[in-house]
Chains A and B, each alone.
Chain A
Protein backbone atom coordinates (compact mmCIF):
# COMPACT_ATOMS: atom_id res chain seq x y z
CA UNK A 1 0.00 0.00 0.00
CA UNK A 2 2.94 2.32 0.65
CA UNK A 3 3.89 2.07 -3.00
CA UNK A 4 0.42 3.30 -3.96
CA UNK A 5 0.97 6.49 -1.96
CA UNK A 6 4.47 7.00 -3.34
CA UNK A 7 3.22 6.71 -6.90
CA UNK A 8 0.13 8.79 -6.15
CA UNK A 9 2.33 11.49 -4.64
CA UNK A 10 4.56 11.65 -7.69
CA UNK A 11 1.58 11.63 -10.03
CA UNK A 12 -0.13 14.41 -8.08
CA UNK A 13 2.99 16.57 -8.11
CA UNK A 14 3.43 15.92 -11.82
CA UNK A 15 0.14 17.71 -12.50
CA UNK A 16 1.57 20.87 -11.01
CA UNK A 17 4.40 20.99 -13.51
CA UNK A 18 2.28 19.95 -16.45
CA UNK A 19 1.00 22.71 -18.71
CA UNK A 20 -1.88 20.47 -19.79
CA UNK A 21 -3.12 20.14 -16.21
CA UNK A 22 -2.97 23.89 -15.63
CA UNK A 23 -4.75 24.57 -18.88
CA UNK A 24 -7.47 22.08 -18.05
CA UNK A 25 -7.91 23.44 -14.54
CA UNK A 26 -8.04 26.99 -15.84
CA UNK A 27 -10.57 26.10 -18.54
CA UNK A 28 -12.83 24.24 -16.09
CA UNK A 29 -12.89 27.12 -13.64
CA UNK A 30 -13.18 29.78 -16.33
CA UNK A 31 -16.10 28.15 -18.12
CA UNK A 32 -17.83 27.35 -14.86
CA UNK A 33 -17.32 30.92 -13.64
CA UNK A 34 -18.71 32.29 -16.89
CA UNK A 35 -21.80 30.12 -16.72
CA UNK A 36 -22.26 31.01 -13.09
CA UNK A 37 -22.07 34.73 -13.78
CA UNK A 38 -24.52 34.49 -16.68
CA UNK A 39 -26.90 32.48 -14.52
CA UNK A 40 -26.77 35.05 -11.75
CA UNK A 41 -27.18 38.10 -13.97
CA UNK A 42 -29.84 36.81 -16.31
CA UNK A 43 -31.37 33.77 -14.62
CA UNK A 44 -31.62 34.49 -10.95
CA UNK A 45 -32.27 38.20 -11.27
CA UNK A 46 -35.18 37.60 -13.65
CA UNK A 47 -36.40 34.73 -11.51
CA UNK A 48 -36.03 32.08 -14.24
CA UNK A 49 -33.36 30.12 -12.38
CA UNK A 50 -33.81 28.89 -8.86
CA UNK A 51 -30.66 29.68 -6.89
CA UNK A 52 -29.31 26.49 -5.38
CA UNK A 53 -26.21 24.27 -5.52
CA UNK A 54 -27.40 22.66 -8.75
CA UNK A 55 -26.75 25.89 -10.57
CA UNK A 56 -23.08 25.03 -10.12
CA UNK A 57 -23.17 21.26 -10.17
CA UNK A 58 -25.08 20.85 -13.43
CA UNK A 59 -22.55 22.61 -15.65
CA UNK A 60 -19.61 21.37 -13.59
CA UNK A 61 -20.44 17.73 -14.25
CA UNK A 62 -20.62 18.35 -17.99
CA UNK A 63 -17.35 20.27 -18.01
CA UNK A 64 -15.58 17.58 -16.01
CA UNK A 65 -16.73 15.00 -18.51
CA UNK A 66 -14.50 16.72 -21.05
CA UNK A 67 -11.74 17.61 -18.61
CA UNK A 68 -11.19 14.08 -17.29
CA UNK A 69 -9.80 12.56 -20.50
CA UNK A 70 -7.35 15.45 -20.81
CA UNK A 71 -6.08 14.87 -17.29
CA UNK A 72 -5.86 11.10 -17.38
CA UNK A 73 -4.70 10.54 -20.97
CA UNK A 74 -0.99 10.56 -20.21
CA UNK A 75 -1.09 8.71 -16.88
CA UNK A 76 0.09 5.33 -18.17
CA UNK A 77 0.27 5.96 -21.93
CA UNK A 78 3.07 8.48 -21.55
CA UNK A 79 5.14 6.12 -19.42
CA UNK A 80 4.75 3.59 -22.17
CA UNK A 81 5.64 6.10 -24.88
CA UNK A 82 8.76 7.30 -23.07
CA UNK A 83 9.73 3.83 -21.89
CA UNK A 84 9.84 4.92 -18.25
CA UNK A 85 7.37 2.14 -17.51
CA UNK A 86 10.25 -0.28 -17.86
CA UNK A 87 11.93 0.99 -14.71
CA UNK A 88 8.62 1.20 -12.88
CA UNK A 89 7.74 -2.37 -13.78
CA UNK A 90 11.17 -3.69 -12.86
CA UNK A 91 11.01 -2.08 -9.43
CA UNK A 92 9.25 -4.09 -6.75
CA UNK A 93 5.85 -2.53 -7.40
CA UNK A 94 2.81 -4.64 -8.19
CA UNK A 95 0.93 -3.72 -11.34
CA UNK A 96 -2.21 -2.83 -9.41
CA UNK A 97 -0.26 -0.62 -7.04
CA UNK A 98 0.94 1.41 -9.98
CA UNK A 99 -2.54 1.69 -11.49
CA UNK A 100 -4.24 2.59 -8.21
CA UNK A 101 -1.44 5.06 -7.43
CA UNK A 102 -1.97 6.77 -10.78
CA UNK A 103 -5.70 6.91 -10.14
CA UNK A 104 -5.25 8.36 -6.69
CA UNK A 105 -2.85 11.00 -7.96
CA UNK A 106 -5.27 12.06 -10.70
CA UNK A 107 -8.14 12.02 -8.21
CA UNK A 108 -6.19 14.33 -5.95
CA UNK A 109 -5.85 16.88 -8.71
CA UNK A 110 -9.49 16.52 -9.79
CA UNK A 111 -10.74 16.95 -6.24
CA UNK A 112 -8.62 20.06 -5.93
CA UNK A 113 -10.43 21.54 -8.94
CA UNK A 114 -13.77 20.44 -7.51
CA UNK A 115 -12.86 21.96 -4.14
CA UNK A 116 -12.23 25.33 -5.76
CA UNK A 117 -15.73 25.31 -7.26
CA UNK A 118 -17.10 25.30 -3.73
CA UNK A 119 -16.72 29.11 -3.75
CA UNK A 120 -19.74 29.42 -6.06
CA UNK A 121 -22.25 27.89 -3.65
CA UNK A 122 -20.69 30.04 -0.93
CA UNK A 123 -21.32 33.13 -3.05
CA UNK A 124 -24.86 31.95 -3.73
CA UNK A 125 -25.43 31.48 -0.06
CA UNK A 126 -24.42 35.06 0.55
CA UNK A 127 -26.61 36.42 -2.21
CA UNK A 128 -29.78 34.65 -1.25
CA UNK A 129 -31.84 34.76 1.86
CA UNK A 130 -32.24 32.52 3.80
CA UNK A 131 -29.43 30.82 1.87
CA UNK A 132 -29.35 27.73 -0.33
CA UNK A 133 -30.28 24.19 0.62
CA UNK A 134 -27.15 22.75 2.23
CA UNK A 135 -28.42 19.16 2.13
CA UNK A 136 -28.83 19.16 -1.64
CA UNK A 137 -25.43 20.76 -1.98
CA UNK A 138 -23.64 18.14 0.10
CA UNK A 139 -25.44 15.28 -1.62
CA UNK A 140 -24.65 16.69 -5.06
CA UNK A 141 -21.00 17.18 -4.20
CA UNK A 142 -20.71 13.71 -2.71
CA UNK A 143 -22.29 12.26 -5.83
CA UNK A 144 -19.88 14.30 -7.91
CA UNK A 145 -16.88 12.93 -6.04
CA UNK A 146 -17.84 9.29 -6.55
CA UNK A 147 -18.76 9.95 -10.17
CA UNK A 148 -15.44 11.69 -10.83
CA UNK A 149 -13.76 8.68 -9.21
CA UNK A 150 -15.35 6.40 -11.78
CA UNK A 151 -14.56 8.76 -14.67
CA UNK A 152 -10.90 9.02 -13.66
CA UNK A 153 -10.66 5.24 -13.22
CA UNK A 154 -12.02 4.74 -16.74
CA UNK A 155 -9.50 7.31 -17.98
CA UNK A 156 -6.63 5.47 -16.30
CA UNK A 157 -7.83 2.15 -17.70
CA UNK A 158 -7.91 3.49 -21.23
CA UNK A 159 -4.58 5.25 -20.81
CA UNK A 160 -3.05 1.90 -19.89
CA UNK A 161 -4.24 0.44 -23.19
CA UNK A 162 -2.33 2.95 -25.31
CA UNK A 163 1.25 3.97 -25.85
CA UNK A 164 0.28 7.47 -26.84
CA UNK A 165 -1.84 9.96 -24.91
CA UNK A 166 -3.74 11.32 -27.92
CA UNK A 167 -5.76 8.20 -28.77
CA UNK A 168 -6.21 7.63 -25.03
CA UNK A 169 -7.86 11.05 -24.85
CA UNK A 170 -10.33 10.43 -27.65
CA UNK A 171 -11.25 6.91 -26.60
CA UNK A 172 -11.78 8.01 -23.00
CA UNK A 173 -13.98 10.85 -24.18
CA UNK A 174 -15.95 8.49 -26.40
CA UNK A 175 -16.49 5.97 -23.60
CA UNK A 176 -17.54 8.62 -21.10
CA UNK A 177 -19.92 10.22 -23.59
CA UNK A 178 -21.25 6.77 -24.42
CA UNK A 179 -22.00 6.07 -20.77
CA UNK A 180 -23.53 9.53 -20.64
CA UNK A 181 -26.00 9.29 -23.51
CA UNK A 182 -26.82 5.61 -23.09
CA UNK A 183 -29.61 6.59 -20.69
CA UNK A 184 -31.41 8.29 -23.57
CA UNK A 185 -32.08 4.89 -25.15
CA UNK A 186 -33.95 3.70 -22.08
CA UNK A 187 -37.29 5.21 -23.01
CA UNK A 188 -39.53 2.25 -22.38
CA UNK A 189 -40.14 0.32 -19.23
CA UNK A 190 -38.92 -3.14 -20.33
CA UNK A 191 -36.14 -5.03 -18.65
CA UNK A 192 -33.74 -3.95 -21.41
CA UNK A 193 -34.41 -0.35 -20.54
CA UNK A 194 -33.87 -1.14 -16.90
CA UNK A 195 -30.41 -2.53 -17.62
CA UNK A 196 -29.50 0.43 -19.78
CA UNK A 197 -30.78 2.83 -17.18
CA UNK A 198 -28.68 1.05 -14.59
CA UNK A 199 -25.56 1.38 -16.72
CA UNK A 200 -26.17 5.02 -17.49
CA UNK A 201 -23.81 7.43 -15.87
CA UNK A 202 -26.39 10.21 -15.86
CA UNK A 203 -29.29 8.41 -14.32
CA UNK A 204 -27.50 7.57 -11.10
CA UNK A 205 -26.49 11.15 -10.61
CA UNK A 206 -29.26 13.38 -11.82
CA UNK A 207 -32.17 11.26 -10.64
CA UNK A 208 -31.21 11.23 -7.00
CA UNK A 209 -27.80 12.42 -5.75
CA UNK A 210 -28.14 15.67 -7.64
CA UNK A 211 -31.56 16.30 -6.12
CA UNK A 212 -30.35 15.71 -2.60
CA UNK A 213 -31.46 12.10 -2.31
CA UNK A 214 -28.56 10.09 -1.00
CA UNK A 215 -29.15 6.57 -2.26
CA UNK A 216 -26.55 3.96 -1.33
CA UNK A 217 -27.25 2.08 -4.56
CA UNK A 218 -26.05 5.02 -6.66
CA UNK A 219 -22.88 5.39 -4.63
CA UNK A 220 -22.25 1.66 -4.98
CA UNK A 221 -22.74 1.92 -8.74
CA UNK A 222 -19.95 4.49 -9.06
CA UNK A 223 -17.69 2.72 -6.61
CA UNK A 224 -18.03 -0.63 -8.31
CA UNK A 225 -17.41 0.99 -11.70
CA UNK A 226 -14.23 2.50 -10.24
CA UNK A 227 -13.03 -0.81 -8.86
CA UNK A 228 -13.83 -2.61 -12.09
CA UNK A 229 -11.96 -0.06 -14.22
CA UNK A 230 -8.92 -0.17 -11.93
CA UNK A 231 -8.94 -3.96 -11.95
CA UNK A 232 -9.07 -4.02 -15.75
CA UNK A 233 -6.34 -1.39 -15.86
CA UNK A 234 -4.06 -3.60 -13.77
CA UNK A 235 -4.85 -6.51 -16.06
CA UNK A 236 -4.01 -4.38 -19.08
CA UNK A 237 -0.62 -3.48 -17.62
CA UNK A 238 0.08 -7.13 -16.89
CA UNK A 239 -1.06 -8.17 -20.35
CA UNK A 240 1.48 -5.78 -21.84
CA UNK A 241 4.26 -7.69 -20.15
CA UNK A 242 3.21 -10.84 -21.94
CA UNK A 243 3.26 -9.31 -25.36
Chain B
Protein backbone atom coordinates (compact mmCIF):
# COMPACT_ATOMS: atom_id res chain seq x y z
CA UNK B 1 0.00 0.00 0.00
CA UNK B 2 2.81 2.38 0.83
CA UNK B 3 6.22 1.82 -0.71
CA UNK B 4 8.92 4.39 -0.16
CA UNK B 5 12.32 4.02 -1.72
CA UNK B 6 15.29 6.18 -0.97
CA UNK B 7 13.15 9.15 0.04
CA UNK B 8 15.27 12.21 0.66
CA UNK B 9 14.17 15.75 1.31
CA UNK B 10 16.36 18.79 1.66
CA UNK B 11 15.25 22.10 3.14
CA UNK B 12 17.86 24.35 1.65
CA UNK B 13 21.05 22.44 2.33
CA UNK B 14 19.74 20.76 5.42
CA UNK B 15 18.52 17.19 4.86
CA UNK B 16 15.28 16.57 6.74
CA UNK B 17 15.16 12.93 5.73
CA UNK B 18 17.78 10.82 4.03
CA UNK B 19 17.30 7.72 1.96
CA UNK B 20 14.23 6.40 3.74
CA UNK B 21 13.09 3.02 2.46
CA UNK B 22 10.11 1.28 3.97
CA UNK B 23 6.72 -0.12 3.13
CA UNK B 24 3.36 -0.69 4.71
CA UNK B 25 0.99 -3.44 3.70
CA UNK B 26 -2.76 -3.28 3.47
CA UNK B 27 -4.43 -3.69 6.84
CA UNK B 28 -1.28 -2.83 8.71
CA UNK B 29 -0.77 -0.12 11.28
CA UNK B 30 2.74 1.21 11.00
CA UNK B 31 4.11 3.58 13.57
CA UNK B 32 6.68 6.23 12.91
CA UNK B 33 8.51 6.78 16.12
CA UNK B 34 11.10 9.43 16.71
CA UNK B 35 11.96 12.55 18.63
CA UNK B 36 10.73 15.94 17.45
CA UNK B 37 12.51 17.07 14.33
CA UNK B 38 13.42 13.54 13.26
CA UNK B 39 11.69 13.91 9.89
CA UNK B 40 8.35 12.26 10.62
CA UNK B 41 6.22 15.15 9.42
CA UNK B 42 8.33 15.65 6.30
CA UNK B 43 7.90 12.01 5.33
CA UNK B 44 4.17 12.11 5.92
CA UNK B 45 3.78 15.30 3.93
CA UNK B 46 5.52 13.66 0.99
CA UNK B 47 3.31 10.59 1.21
CA UNK B 48 0.16 12.72 1.47
CA UNK B 49 1.07 14.56 -1.72
CA UNK B 50 1.71 17.92 -0.07
CA UNK B 51 5.27 18.21 -1.28
CA UNK B 52 7.52 16.20 -3.55
CA UNK B 53 10.72 14.56 -2.28
CA UNK B 54 14.11 15.93 -3.35
CA UNK B 55 14.98 12.45 -4.53
CA UNK B 56 13.67 8.93 -4.19
CA UNK B 57 10.22 7.63 -5.02
CA UNK B 58 7.12 6.72 -3.12
CA UNK B 59 4.01 4.89 -4.22
CA UNK B 60 0.80 5.04 -2.27
CA UNK B 61 -2.04 2.68 -3.19
CA UNK B 62 -0.12 1.91 -6.37
CA UNK B 63 0.30 5.51 -7.54
CA UNK B 64 3.41 7.63 -7.62
CA UNK B 65 3.23 10.57 -5.21
CA UNK B 66 4.82 12.96 -7.70
CA UNK B 67 3.55 11.88 -11.12
CA UNK B 68 0.11 10.75 -9.99
CA UNK B 69 -0.29 13.06 -7.05
CA UNK B 70 -4.00 13.62 -7.63
CA UNK B 71 -4.72 9.88 -7.63
CA UNK B 72 -2.73 9.48 -4.43
CA UNK B 73 -4.54 12.37 -2.78
CA UNK B 74 -7.92 10.83 -3.67
CA UNK B 75 -6.97 7.67 -1.79
CA UNK B 76 -5.28 9.11 1.25
CA UNK B 77 -6.83 10.50 4.38
CA UNK B 78 -4.39 12.88 6.02
CA UNK B 79 -4.33 14.43 9.43
CA UNK B 80 -1.58 17.06 9.61
CA UNK B 81 0.31 17.68 12.79
CA UNK B 82 -1.19 21.05 13.69
CA UNK B 83 -4.69 20.23 12.39
CA UNK B 84 -5.23 23.43 10.44
CA UNK B 85 -8.95 24.15 10.15
CA UNK B 86 -11.07 27.14 9.18
CA UNK B 87 -12.18 28.73 12.45
CA UNK B 88 -15.10 30.55 10.87
CA UNK B 89 -16.85 27.39 9.71
CA UNK B 90 -18.99 25.04 11.75
CA UNK B 91 -17.94 21.41 12.01
CA UNK B 92 -20.64 20.33 9.56
CA UNK B 93 -19.85 23.17 7.13
CA UNK B 94 -16.18 22.33 7.19
CA UNK B 95 -16.69 18.63 6.59
CA UNK B 96 -19.18 19.38 3.82
CA UNK B 97 -16.65 21.66 2.13
CA UNK B 98 -13.84 19.11 2.31
CA UNK B 99 -16.20 16.32 1.27
CA UNK B 100 -17.40 18.19 -1.78
CA UNK B 101 -13.81 18.72 -2.90
CA UNK B 102 -13.39 14.97 -2.58
CA UNK B 103 -16.66 14.20 -4.37
CA UNK B 104 -17.95 12.08 -1.50
CA UNK B 105 -21.23 10.46 -2.55
CA UNK B 106 -24.28 11.07 -0.34
CA UNK B 107 -22.25 13.73 1.36
CA UNK B 108 -24.76 14.91 3.97
CA UNK B 109 -25.26 11.39 5.31
CA UNK B 110 -21.56 10.66 5.24
CA UNK B 111 -20.80 13.85 7.18
CA UNK B 112 -23.28 12.79 9.85
CA UNK B 113 -21.69 9.36 9.95
CA UNK B 114 -18.17 10.56 10.56
CA UNK B 115 -19.37 13.07 13.12
CA UNK B 116 -20.87 10.14 15.03
CA UNK B 117 -17.72 8.11 14.47
CA UNK B 118 -15.54 10.73 16.16
CA UNK B 119 -18.29 11.40 18.73
CA UNK B 120 -18.93 15.03 17.97
CA UNK B 121 -22.71 14.85 17.55
CA UNK B 122 -23.28 17.48 20.19
CA UNK B 123 -20.84 19.96 18.68
CA UNK B 124 -21.68 19.43 15.01
CA UNK B 125 -22.98 22.98 14.61
CA UNK B 126 -20.29 24.66 16.72
CA UNK B 127 -17.79 26.93 15.05
CA UNK B 128 -14.39 25.33 14.82
CA UNK B 129 -12.82 28.45 16.30
CA UNK B 130 -14.68 27.75 19.56
CA UNK B 131 -13.56 24.14 19.89
CA UNK B 132 -10.88 22.88 22.25
CA UNK B 133 -7.67 21.38 20.93
CA UNK B 134 -8.93 17.86 21.50
CA UNK B 135 -12.17 18.47 19.66
CA UNK B 136 -10.35 20.09 16.78
CA UNK B 137 -8.14 17.04 16.59
CA UNK B 138 -11.27 14.96 16.20
CA UNK B 139 -12.60 17.21 13.44
CA UNK B 140 -9.29 16.70 11.66
CA UNK B 141 -9.65 12.97 12.06
CA UNK B 142 -13.23 13.14 10.77
CA UNK B 143 -11.95 15.01 7.72
CA UNK B 144 -9.38 12.29 7.11
CA UNK B 145 -12.02 9.54 7.32
CA UNK B 146 -14.67 11.30 5.28
CA UNK B 147 -13.92 9.73 1.92
CA UNK B 148 -13.19 6.27 3.37
CA UNK B 149 -9.60 6.30 2.14
CA UNK B 150 -7.56 3.17 1.64
CA UNK B 151 -4.61 4.76 3.35
CA UNK B 152 -4.65 6.90 6.47
CA UNK B 153 -1.70 9.10 7.30
CA UNK B 154 -1.99 10.50 10.79
CA UNK B 155 0.63 12.88 12.11
CA UNK B 156 0.59 12.69 15.89
CA UNK B 157 -3.10 11.83 16.13
CA UNK B 158 -3.30 11.83 19.92
CA UNK B 159 -1.33 14.97 20.66
CA UNK B 160 -3.24 17.46 22.80
CA UNK B 161 -5.90 14.98 23.86
CA UNK B 162 -6.74 14.10 27.42
CA UNK B 163 -6.11 10.51 28.59
CA UNK B 164 -9.69 9.35 28.04
CA UNK B 165 -9.72 10.79 24.52
CA UNK B 166 -6.34 9.24 23.78
CA UNK B 167 -7.70 5.80 24.60
CA UNK B 168 -10.74 6.45 22.41
CA UNK B 169 -8.69 7.63 19.46
CA UNK B 170 -6.31 4.69 19.76
CA UNK B 171 -9.26 2.34 19.74
CA UNK B 172 -10.63 4.06 16.68
CA UNK B 173 -7.29 3.78 14.91
CA UNK B 174 -7.07 0.09 15.72
CA UNK B 175 -10.54 -0.45 14.31
CA UNK B 176 -9.67 1.49 11.18
CA UNK B 177 -6.43 -0.41 10.81
CA UNK B 178 -8.27 -3.66 10.25
CA UNK B 179 -9.30 -2.75 6.73
CA UNK B 180 -6.96 0.07 5.83
CA UNK B 181 -3.33 0.89 5.92
CA UNK B 182 -2.54 3.31 8.69
CA UNK B 183 0.72 5.18 9.02
CA UNK B 184 0.88 7.18 12.20
CA UNK B 185 3.62 9.13 13.83
CA UNK B 186 4.13 9.57 17.50
CA UNK B 187 6.79 10.26 20.01
CA UNK B 188 4.90 8.41 22.68
CA UNK B 189 6.43 4.97 22.90
CA UNK B 190 3.65 3.20 24.70
CA UNK B 191 1.33 4.37 21.97
CA UNK B 192 3.44 2.74 19.27
CA UNK B 193 3.70 -0.36 21.42
CA UNK B 194 -0.06 -0.59 21.89
CA UNK B 195 -1.42 0.41 18.54
CA UNK B 196 1.10 -0.51 15.88
CA UNK B 197 1.77 -3.78 14.13
CA UNK B 198 5.16 -2.50 13.14
CA UNK B 199 7.35 0.33 14.31
CA UNK B 200 9.90 2.36 12.39
CA UNK B 201 12.24 4.28 14.61
CA UNK B 202 13.49 7.37 12.87
CA UNK B 203 16.12 9.76 14.08
CA UNK B 204 17.84 12.63 12.28
CA UNK B 205 16.04 11.66 9.10
CA UNK B 206 17.30 8.09 9.07
CA UNK B 207 15.49 4.87 9.97
CA UNK B 208 17.47 3.35 12.80
CA UNK B 209 15.28 0.34 13.51
CA UNK B 210 12.25 -1.39 12.07
CA UNK B 211 10.28 -4.33 13.42
CA UNK B 212 7.24 -5.34 15.43
CA UNK B 213 7.27 -3.78 18.87
CA UNK B 214 7.82 -7.24 20.40
CA UNK B 215 10.70 -8.17 18.10
CA UNK B 216 12.34 -4.82 18.52
CA UNK B 217 12.39 -5.41 22.22
CA UNK B 218 13.83 -8.88 21.87
CA UNK B 219 16.35 -8.00 19.22
CA UNK B 220 17.63 -4.84 20.78
CA UNK B 221 17.81 -6.14 24.27
CA UNK B 222 20.73 -8.14 22.84
CA UNK B 223 21.13 -10.45 25.79
CA UNK B 224 18.80 -11.90 28.35
CA UNK B 225 18.99 -10.35 31.74
CA UNK B 226 17.94 -11.66 35.12
CA UNK B 227 17.43 -10.09 38.45
CA UNK B 228 18.43 -12.42 41.27
CA UNK B 229 17.95 -11.88 44.96
CA UNK B 230 19.17 -14.26 47.64
CA UNK B 231 19.87 -14.02 51.35
CA UNK B 232 23.63 -13.65 51.09
CA UNK B 233 26.40 -11.15 50.75
CA UNK B 234 26.44 -9.54 47.32
CA UNK B 235 30.21 -9.89 46.55
CA UNK B 236 30.14 -13.58 47.34
CA UNK B 237 27.11 -14.10 45.14
CA UNK B 238 28.76 -12.32 42.24
CA UNK B 239 31.71 -14.67 42.47
CA UNK B 240 29.45 -17.68 42.70
CA UNK B 241 27.30 -16.78 39.72
CA UNK B 242 30.24 -15.88 37.48
CA UNK B 243 31.04 -19.58 37.46
CA UNK B 244 27.65 -20.58 35.99
CA UNK B 245 27.98 -21.72 32.35
CA UNK B 246 26.30 -19.29 29.92
CA UNK B 247 26.50 -16.28 32.20
CA UNK B 248 28.34 -13.42 30.53
CA UNK B 249 28.34 -10.82 33.26
CA UNK B 250 27.18 -10.32 36.82
CA UNK B 251 26.71 -6.94 38.35
CA UNK B 252 25.49 -5.78 41.74
CA UNK B 253 21.88 -4.67 41.66
CA UNK B 254 20.15 -2.09 43.78
CA UNK B 255 19.64 -3.52 47.24
CA UNK B 256 21.23 -6.03 49.58
CA UNK B 257 21.70 -9.44 48.04
CA UNK B 258 20.50 -8.35 44.61
CA UNK B 259 22.49 -8.88 41.42
CA UNK B 260 21.83 -8.54 37.72
CA UNK B 261 22.88 -11.48 35.63
CA UNK B 262 23.34 -11.21 31.86
CA UNK B 263 23.56 -14.22 29.63
CA UNK B 264 24.16 -14.97 25.98
CA UNK B 265 21.11 -14.39 23.78
CA UNK B 266 18.76 -17.33 23.40
CA UNK B 267 20.12 -19.16 26.40
CA UNK B 268 17.98 -19.59 29.46
CA UNK B 269 20.28 -19.80 32.46
CA UNK B 270 17.55 -19.59 35.07
CA UNK B 271 17.53 -23.29 36.10
CA UNK B 272 21.32 -23.34 36.43
CA UNK B 273 21.43 -20.13 38.41
CA UNK B 274 18.73 -21.37 40.78
CA UNK B 275 20.38 -24.76 41.25
CA UNK B 276 23.83 -23.29 41.89
CA UNK B 277 22.48 -20.97 44.59
CA UNK B 278 20.39 -23.62 46.31
CA UNK B 279 23.11 -26.28 46.08
CA UNK B 280 25.51 -23.87 47.72
CA UNK B 281 23.13 -23.64 50.65
CA UNK B 282 21.68 -20.20 50.12
CA UNK B 283 18.04 -19.12 50.19
CA UNK B 284 16.85 -17.92 46.82
CA UNK B 285 14.33 -15.12 47.31
CA UNK B 286 13.67 -13.89 43.79
CA UNK B 287 14.61 -14.75 40.24
CA UNK B 288 13.02 -12.90 37.33
CA UNK B 289 13.86 -11.84 33.79
CA UNK B 290 14.24 -8.12 33.14
CA UNK B 291 12.90 -6.98 29.78
CA UNK B 292 14.17 -3.88 28.12
CA UNK B 293 11.35 -1.46 27.42
CA UNK B 294 10.78 0.15 24.07
CA UNK B 295 11.53 3.36 25.86
CA UNK B 296 15.05 2.21 26.64
CA UNK B 297 15.56 0.97 23.09
CA UNK B 298 14.40 4.26 21.77
CA UNK B 299 16.71 6.24 24.00
CA UNK B 300 19.54 3.87 23.24
CA UNK B 301 19.08 4.17 19.49
CA UNK B 302 18.54 7.89 19.35
CA UNK B 303 21.37 8.42 21.79
CA UNK B 304 23.83 6.30 19.81
CA UNK B 305 22.97 8.30 16.76
CA UNK B 306 23.59 11.53 18.64
CA UNK B 307 26.89 10.23 19.97
CA UNK B 308 28.03 9.23 16.49
CA UNK B 309 27.35 12.77 15.32
CA UNK B 310 29.39 14.35 18.06
Interface of A toward B, CB cutoff 8 Å: 2-3, 6-7, 10, 14, 17, 82-94, 241-243
Chain A residues contacting B70 (CB-CB under 8 Å) are: 92, 94
Q: Is the CB of A92 within 8 A of B101?
A: yes
Q: Is the CB of A84 within 8 A of B86?
A: yes
CB distance from A74 to the nearest CB of B (A): 12
Closest 10 CB pairs of A and B: A83-B84, A84-B84, A92-B73, A90-B48, A92-B74, A241-B51, A91-B101, A90-B78, A86-B80, A90-B50
Contacts A94-B70, A241-B50 known; A17 to B101 CB distance under 8 Å? no
CB distance from A178 to the nearest CB of B (A): 31
Chain A residues contacting B98 (CB-CB under 8 Å) are: 87, 91
Chain B residues contacting A83 (CB-CB under 8 Å) are: 80, 82, 84
CA distance A88 to B98 in the complex (A): 8
Tell me how many residue pairs across A and B have CB atoms closer than 8 Å: 55
CA distance A190 to B238 in the complex (A): 101
CB distance from B8 to the nearest CB of A (A): 14
Q: Is the CB of A90 within 8 A of B49?
A: yes
B216 in contact (CB, < 8 A): no
CA distance A92 to B103 in the complex (A): 9
Interface residues of B in 208-259 (CB under 8 A from A): none
Which of A6, A82, A86: most chain B CB closer than 10 A?
A86
Interface residues of B in 49-98 (CB under 8 A from A): 49-52, 70, 73-74, 76, 78, 80, 82, 84-86, 88, 97-98
CB distance from A78 to the nearest CB of B (A): 10
Grouping DSSP codes into helix (H, G, I), strand (E, B) and loop, the A interface class, with mixed when no group exceeds half, is helix
Chain B residues contacting A3 (CB-CB under 8 Å) are: 101
CB distance from B65 to the nearest CB of A (A): 11
Which of B52, B74, B98, B100: most chain A CB closer than 10 A?
B100
Interface of B toward A, CB cutoff 8 Å: 11, 45, 48-52, 70, 73-74, 76, 78, 80, 82, 84-86, 88, 97-98, 100-103, 143
Chain A residues contacting B11 (CB-CB under 8 Å) are: 243
Which of B73, B74, B76, B101: most chain A CB closer than 10 A?
B101
CA distance A110 to B226 in the complex (A): 76
Chain B residues contacting A84 (CB-CB under 8 Å) are: 84-86
Q: Is the CB of A86 within 8 A of B84?
A: yes
Q: Is the CB of A242 within 8 A of B52?
A: yes
Q: Is the CB of B85 within 8 A of A90?
A: no
Q: Is the CB of B97 within 8 A of A10?
A: yes
CB distance from B156 to the nearest CB of A (A): 14
Closest A residue to B11 by beta carbon equals A243
Chain B residues contacting A241 (CB-CB under 8 Å) are: 50-52
CA distance A71 to B48 in the complex (A): 31
CA distance A17 to B82 in the complex (A): 24
CA distance A60 to B50 in the complex (A): 41
Closest A residue to B140 by beta carbon equals A87
Contacts A84-B85, A94-B70 known; A6 to B51 CB distance under 8 Å? no
Chain A residues contacting B85 (CB-CB under 8 Å) are: 84, 87
Chain B residues contacting A7 (CB-CB under 8 Å) are: 101
CB distance from A22 to the nearest CB of B (A): 14
CA distance A6 to B107 in the complex (A): 14
Chain A residues contacting B97 (CB-CB under 8 Å) are: 6, 10
Chain B residues contacting A14 (CB-CB under 8 Å) are: 88
Q: Is the CB of A90 within 8 A of B76?
A: yes
CA distance A243 to B45 in the complex (A): 12
Q: Is the CB of A6 within 8 A of B100?
A: yes
Which of A2, A82, A87: most chain B CB closer than 10 A?
A87
In the assembled complex, 26 residue pairs joining A and B whose CB atoms fall closer than 8 Å, in A order, are: A6-B100, A6-B101, A7-B101, A83-B80, A83-B84, A84-B86, A85-B84, A86-B45, A87-B78, A87-B84, A87-B85, A87-B143, A89-B49, A89-B50, A90-B48, A90-B49, A90-B50, A90-B73, A90-B76, A90-B80, A91-B101, A91-B102, A94-B70, A241-B50, A241-B52, A243-B51
Q: Is the CB of A242 within 8 A of B102?
A: no
Q: Is the CB of B86 within 8 A of A86?
A: no
Which of A2, A84, A90: most chain B CB closer than 10 A?
A90
Q: Is the CB of B88 within 8 A of A17?
A: yes
CB distance from B143 to the nearest CB of A (A): 7
CA distance A87 to B48 in the complex (A): 10
Q: Is the CB of B51 within 8 A of A242?
A: yes
CB distance from B294 to the nearest CB of A (A): 30
Q: Is the CB of A93 within 8 A of B76?
A: no
